[in-house]
Each structure stands twice: as structure tokens, then as C-alpha cells.
Amino acid sequence: MKNFTTECEAISAVGYSANFDDYTVASSYTAPSARVRPNCWAAINTTTYSTYSVFPTIYYYSSTNYANSTPNCLKFYSYYSSSNSSYDPQPQYAILPEMTDLAGKRITLQAKGYTASSSFKVGTMSDPTDASSFMEITNTDNPAAMTTSYQEYIFDITNTTDHYVAIMIEAANSTITTNGVYIDDIVFSLSPTCYAPTEAHADVQDANNATISWTSDARNTDGGSYSILDADQNVVAGAENITGTSFPTS
């Protein structure tokens, strides 16, 4: 009997998820020769140093829980050494399977850094073999900074004709000598039709009067309409479906 893999067909983004746990890797440490990527995923990493050329790959290491949901996660790793030019760090891209309907979709994932200075990007690609086609998704609801603990990151694709999503890390360099990121629990869903406002605050005039102001999220194509609720979650009189950016209470 011979095993073979058929060519991957494009899939629907909604409902796709990946936690990397359905793959058998080493029970203690995933050696470079045993590292794999999920089926139908691709990667770009042109470093010439063999130890780092295998990343990004599914990773398991038993001495510490590196995954957000055990046992596996996806690991990126890049290292720079001024004394060893053969390390040749390069940007790395983990490219998800081809998808048919990316516009209007939300990507939620868990990520943590190898160090607090680590970082990553998410974007779309028209060509999974061409790094120059990577277009970063800038409309994000992310934590202010990456830490060495898992945090949730959310990316919304407002409009694109691309068919691929990619996770990317920059090459390590003389300033950031190590850049490593762990990714887990990727989920695709529909983006919300209305995004929450930001910078909400109240300017109090006296005990009975205040003006509540906010900034509408630019992703709301209709400008956004909001309602103000009181402490009991009831709509404040006159404050339903407000299309402006402030409301005086009395």
C-alpha cells in the first residue's frame, strides 16, 4: 500500500480553525528533521542556516507548556549573530490554505512571544510563493504589546480579492537578535457589521449634567450608530441609535 496526498482545493474561510493538535510530533522535543506544517499550508523562509530554515513549523516541547491549548502550537524562530554570517536570518511566512471568500472575515488567534520584543504580522497574499504580495491587515483589535504569555489577537479583513492569509515575522537583526513567536487556536468567523466606539468618556458639568463623547470606529462604513445604556442596561431616554459622536445627559 502506498500513501499519497491529493492537491488541496480552496476552502471557505468561515468555520476554518487550526490548533495544530491533530499532528503527531515527537513526544518530548520536535527535532528539526521531524518538524512538519499543517496539511495544505505553505511557508516562505529563505534562510540558509539549516537549524532555522525549518520554521515556521508545528512544535511541541514537554518541559514547558508552549501551546495555548495542548499539546501543539505553531512556532516561528529567527536568530541573528554578528559573529556567524551563515545564520542569514530572513522574514518567515506561514501561509494558510487557499480560501474562497476572505473579504468580511475575522481572524482570531492566540499568540505569545519568545521574548517581550518579539512581534508578528497577519496579512493577505495573492501569491503564496511571492513574499512581495503580502499585504498587512492594519485594522486590528490587538493588545498594545506582545508578551511572553498568550494573548488573543483579532484581525478583520474589510476588503480583499486575495485568496491566502499569512502570518509573518520579521528577520532577527542586530537590534532584536531573537524574534520568536508561538501561534495557537486560529479561528475564522464573520466580521461584525458594527464595531464598538473608542475613546468614550464623560465631561461632567455638575451633579445632574454631563456630555458623553466617543470616536466612531472607521470600519463602520455607515458611520456607525450607537445607543447609550444606563447601569441597568436600559437605553437612556433619547440616546438610541445616535449617529453623532456625543450626547448631553441631564
Within 8 A by CB and 6+ apart from 29, the residues are 60, 61, 62
Residue whose C-alpha cell is 554570517: 85
Q: Is the pLDDT of residue 93 over 80?
A: yes
Which pTM value belongs to this model? 0.81
**Interval 144-187: pLDDT, tens:** 789 999 999 999 998 899 999 999 999 999 999 999 999 999 99
State the DSSP string of 167-212.
EEEPPP-SSS-EEEEEEEEEEEEEPPSSPPPEEEEEEEEETTEEEE
92 has a pLDDT exceeding 90:
yes
Write down the pLDDT at residue 139.
64
Residue-level pLDDT at 4: 54
pLDDT of amino acid 102: 93
Cell of 32: 528539526
Residue 63: pLDDT band (50, 70, 90) is low
Q: Alpha-carbon distance 85 to 58, whole Å?
A: 27
- Is the per-residue pLDDT at 26 higher than 70? no
Residue 218 has pLDDT above 90, yes or no: no
Closest CA to 25 of 1, 48, 58, 56: 58
**Across all residues in the chain, what is the average pLDDT?**
86
Q: Is 16 exposed, middle or buried (0-12, 13-18, 19+ CB in 10 A)?
A: middle
